């Protein structure tokens, strides 16, 4: 739960977290605070992200190693190319952020009894979305939201938070097209936080915390593309490009 004594921080306000070298063996750097815009943005700028369960204090993480995807290393399998050729889905950006984050929190996941996407998390990231720092990808089939992802963008970095799918390949298709679009926009890194076999198959890899922080420092020097990305990114155009090159 949030620390009610901690001040609400506006987007332009900065909070200095403990140095990441102080992280425990699990990667936890600090506990407490809140999910106000200034707190969240301060955390990302220092390589941290919140991850905790209902009833726990907010835990701020900096895992070592860090799981990342360099857009140039994105791998598109032959099976996914077939999926794109079948044109099974429709893709949008920033049209249904609240639906995506709630779906990420409600979809059952193997080996998990509960979700870390609490009402507090939803409220915090909805505020970042309204401010233009958080973004969502939506994947639709026959008018139904069947997959998606959301995260935070700062500089030339995208910090992926969560994704979900209700039908096979939905979130993977949206993710691939999104990373292709980020590559075109000059993004240098997609933060995937912790290892998953799913993202490994797309080209993600582990790097050390120290190496991640070097990329973080460099990436934050880039211009942040804040605001809605509805007219900035055309995922259908990315799909056409992929199948046109195969």
Do 97 and 123 meet the contact criterion of CB atoms below 8 Å apart? no
- Mean per-residue pLDDT, 70-92: 97
Q: Which residue has the higher pLDDT, 107 or 152?
A: 152
Distance CA 65, CA 189 (A): 15
**5: confidence class by pLDDT, cuts 50, 70, 90:** confident
From residue 38, how far is each of 16, 52, 104, 136 by CA, in Å? 11, 19, 24, 20
Structure tokens at 68: 């990342």
* Residues of the chain by 3-state class (helix, strand, coil), percent to 5: 35, 20, 45
Domain ranges across the chain: 67-244
- Global confidence as pTM: 0.95
So what's the pLDDT on residue 96? 98
- Mean per-residue pLDDT, 76-91: 97
Q: Is the dihedral of CA 25, 31, 36, 41 positive or negative?
A: negative
Distance CA 50, CA 44 (A): 9
- The burial of 243, by beta-carbon neighbours within 10 Å (0-12 exposed, 13-18 middle, 19 or more buried), is given as middle
Q: Is the pLDDT of residue 233 over 50?
A: yes
What is the per-residue pLDDT across 93-121, written as a single tens digit (0 to 9) for each?
999 999 999 999 997 655 444 468 999 99
- Mean per-residue pLDDT, 8-34: 97
CATH for the 67-244 domain, from 3.40.630.70, 2.40.30.20, 3.40.50.880, 1.20.200.10: 3.40.630.70
Q: Is the pLDDT of residue 189 over 70?
A: yes
Q: Rounded to the nearest 10 degrees, what angle do helices 170-184 and 235-244 cross at?
A: 90
So what's the pLDDT on residue 245? 77
Q: Is the pLDDT of residue 62 over 70?
A: yes
In the DSSP assignment, the letter for residue 118 is -
- Mean per-residue pLDDT, 213-225: 98
How much of the chain, in percent, has pLDDT values that exceed 90?
Answer: 91
**79: confidence class by pLDDT, cuts 50, 70, 90:** very high
- Mean per-residue pLDDT, 160-174: 97
Q: Is the pLDDT of residue 151 over 80?
A: yes
Do 33 and 15 meet the contact criterion of CB atoms below 8 Å apart? yes
């Amino acid at each position: 739960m949030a620390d009610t004594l901690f001040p609400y921080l506006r987007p332009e306000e900065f909070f200095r977290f403990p140095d990441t070298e102080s992280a425990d063996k699990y990667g936890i750097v600090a506990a407490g605070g809140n999910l106000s815009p200034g707190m969240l943005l301060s955390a990302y700028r220092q390589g941290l992200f919140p991850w905790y369960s209902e009833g726990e204090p907010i835990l701020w993480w900096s895992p070592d190693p860090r799981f990342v995807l360099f857009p140039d290393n994105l791998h598109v399998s032959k099976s996914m190319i077939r999926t794109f050729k079948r044109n099974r889905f429709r893709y949008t950006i920033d049209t249904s952020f609240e639906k995506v984050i709630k779906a990420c929190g409600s979809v059952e996941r193997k080996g998990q009894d509960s979700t870390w996407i609490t009402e507090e998390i939803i409220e915090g990231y909805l505020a970042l979305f309204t401010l233009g720092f958080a973004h969502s990808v939506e994947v639709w089939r026959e008018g139904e939201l069947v997959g998606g992802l959301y995260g935070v963008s700062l500089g030339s970095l995208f910090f992926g938070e969560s994704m979900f799918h209700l039908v096979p390949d939905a979130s993977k298709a949206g993710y691939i097209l999104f990373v292709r679009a980020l590559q075109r926009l000059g993004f240098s890194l997609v933060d995937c936080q912790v290892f998953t076999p799913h993202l490994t198959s797309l080209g993600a890899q582990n790097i050390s915390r120290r190496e991640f922080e070097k990329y973080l420092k460099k990436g934050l020097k880039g211009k942040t593309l804040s605001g809605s990305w509805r007219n900035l990114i055309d995922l259908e155009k990315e799909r056409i490009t992929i199948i046109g090159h195969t």
